[in-house]
Structure 1
Amino acid sequence: MLDIILDEFHFSTLWNGGIFLFTMFAAIIYFFLLPASKKHSWWKSFAFLLGLIVIFIAIASPLNVTGRIKFSTHSLQLVLLLLVAPPLLIVGFKTAILERMKSIGSMKKVMIVLTKPIVATVLFQIVFYSYHIPFMFNFARLDLYLNYFFLLALFLSSVLLWIPILSPDQLSRGQKWKYTFVNVILLTPFSVILFFANTGLYAIYSDINLFMSALALCLPDLTDVPPEFFASLLPFDPVHEQWLGAIIFFAGKLISFVVVTFLSAKSI
């Protein structure tokens, strides 16, 4: 059913050319302009490139349009954008440029504060839960720029969240696991609420008028699109989608935190 629906969308709607250019630009800067230390290995460069690809898939591929139709796909986007891409980018980032940034006193002080475990945790949790308050989520999805602002804020705060785990000298092995445990617990209510809700929490996925307005942001021209087409995009039970989204996010959260923390703690 979904394949048939996506066939109705134009190529430029399914694939975001602007974000593609941005990721290409980021890759060019990384490989050709940023200085690399002698310790920078090829697998770190591969990890960084893979992180950029994951970001592109999450917010610039057909997955993004599907995420406006199915909440479970939105949960998958969250996993990719917040739990998979940031660790890859952090691991692969060239540390030589970071050393130069630390020479700037004000920049160093800001980064020290923002990457403190308690600050990074509180900042991420506030942004994450604020975005997913039903009325805020519905409102953000009706404005293209506001939605991308939230996604950018989520991504940046998730990078800060992962730095204490992946930093080799910020936390001890035991502290890394405690930090991971706290964040897993704090993110669990999101999945629990979705799993046990007996009604659709987000009207953007069930109200035909809101749904049309949100999806219109992905379509270049609506003059030839009949309302019946939009109605055909709502065959998915919102309660079931929330239940499935809860499982996807919970599993993705648990796997990513445990795997990344295990590998980071093992390297100490």
Structure 2
Amino acid sequence: MLGLEYFNFVQVWDPVFLAVMLLITAGYFLLVGPLSEKLGEGQSIPASKKVLFVLGMLLLYLAQGGPIDLLGHMMFSFHMVSMALSYLIAPPLLMLGIPPWVWRVIIRFLARSPLHRLKFLATPIVAAVLFNGLFSFYHIPVIHDYVMLHFGIHRLYYVILFIAAGLMWWTLVNPLPDAAEGQSLKKMGFIFLNMVLLTPACGLIIFASEPLYATYSDPAVWAKAMGYCIPGDTTYLLSQFGGPQFFGYLKPAIDQQVGGILMKFLQEIIFASMLAYVFFQWYRQENRNDDEENVA
């Protein structure tokens, strides 16, 4: 299936990363279960929050350690699917799945640590520019190929990008109930800002007439980059498959354009849905205020 049949279980499913994700999930259920009475506010956690957290962890695993991660090293279109799952879909699910009392503990800890000096990064405009700037910078061809070939930098950059995505989503999902009031108009402006900021990077990719990334067009570079997913010497991939084109259902330039379109389409769908939700919340609130004034 899409070339996955040529790789073994360890290469496709990354059991080490899976074990880490399972441990984090187990810690979450311990935190919201037995430990919540000791550390939390004694409030029961709705099943919906638990489902959101588990779904977020599942999508993050598939994108960063499962089949989508491997496919993302062979086809640019799957790379963009991986990016969308990792930074546009999984973070808000995880944030909404974590109970408010845990966020309050985290905020109190950060306020007492040296990291409180970086709190300006969580302001809406800075967070939007930071995430979209890091995302766009990463997809400059020479930067992308360098990061893909240097695995330590690869992991570090992805962690920083995930944190930046969390800061960006903080304004939109408001995991603390007391911070969610009176922000509808600002949220709508923030959503528009994010939709605009990602457009240049996607446009560069969509309208490029030839492959931009050696990772997906140069067999030697691709084989080296595959070392991120496949331990050991990966030069055998050249003799066995010849290059990433063996797995591609599209030519590299077209696959690249499809990837850019997918990323922009998914972003538009996600943020347009958020925009509609925030607008109707604001509309209901305005009508409620008008009704209260009429009654008064």
Shorter-chain TM-score above 0.5: yes
Show the 5 A alignment for 1:46-195: 46-104=51-109, 105-107=111-113, 109-110=116-117, 112-167=119-174, 169=179, 172-195=183-206
Choose 49-58 or 148-157, whichever is displaced more. 148-157
1:234 is matched with 245
State the AA in 2 paired with 1:238: P
Listed one character per residue, the Cα deviations across residues 216-258 of structure 1 (whole Å, up to 9, x for unaligned) are: 3322344893633231532442210111011110111011112
Change (3 A) 1:225 1:91: same
Counterpart-to-counterpart distance in 2, 1:56 and 1:206: 26
Structure 2 unaligned runs (5+)?
283-296
State the AA in 2 paired with 1:161: M
2:20 is matched with 22
1:9 paired to 2:7 = yes
Contact 1:208–1:230, Cα closer than 8 Å, also in 2? no
Listed one character per residue, the Cα deviations across residues 60-117 of structure 1 (whole Å, up to 9, x for unaligned) are: 1111111111000001001100111011011111211222233343359457422210
Higher RCO, 1 vs 2 (CA within 8 Å, ≥6 residues apart): 1
Change (3 A) 1:162 1:265: farther
SS at the partner of 1:234?
Answer: helix
SS at the partner of 1:46?
Answer: helix
Choose 109-118 or 238-247, whichever is displaced more. 109-118
SS at the partner of 1:164?
Answer: helix
Task: Supply the RMSD in Å over aligned alpha carbons.
Answer: 2.3
Report the alpha carbon displacement of residue 57 of structure 1 after superposing the two structures with TM: 0.8
State the AA in 2 paired with 1:164: T
Report the alpha carbon displacement of residue 4 of structure 1 after superposing the two structures with TM: 6.5
Counterpart-to-counterpart distance in 2, 1:158 and 1:207: 30
Contact 1:86–1:159, Cα closer than 8 Å, also in 2? yes
Which has the greater radius of gyration? Answer: 2
SS at the partner of 1:175?
Answer: helix
Contact 2:218–2:243, Cα closer than 8 Å, also in 1? no
Listed one character per residue, the Cα deviations across residues 158-208 of structure 1 (whole Å, up to 9, x for unaligned) are: 011000011252661111111000110000112211111001111111111
Counterpart-to-counterpart distance in 2, 1:39 and 1:133: 46
Structure 1 unaligned runs (5+)?
none
Listed one character per residue, the Cα deviations across residues 132-164 of structure 1 (whole Å, up to 9, x for unaligned) are: 111111011112222121211111110110000
Contact 1:195–1:246, Cα closer than 8 Å, also in 2? yes
Listed one character per residue, the Cα deviations across residues 3-22 of structure 1 (whole Å, up to 9, x for unaligned) are: 26322211101111222112
Normalised by the length of structure 2, the TM-score is 0.82
State the AA in 2 paired with 1:181: F
Change (3 A) 1:198 1:224: closer
2:291 is matched with none
SS at the partner of 1:200?
Answer: coil
Counterpart-to-counterpart distance in 1, 2:49 and 2:123: 24
Contact 1:75–1:249, Cα closer than 8 Å, also in 2? yes
1:216 is matched with 227
Change (3 A) 1:139 1:111: closer
SS at the partner of 1:103?
Answer: helix
2:263 is matched with 249
Counterpart-to-counterpart distance in 2, 1:222 and 1:112: 43
User: How many equivalent residue pairs?
Assistant: 266
State the AA in 1 paired with 2:31: L
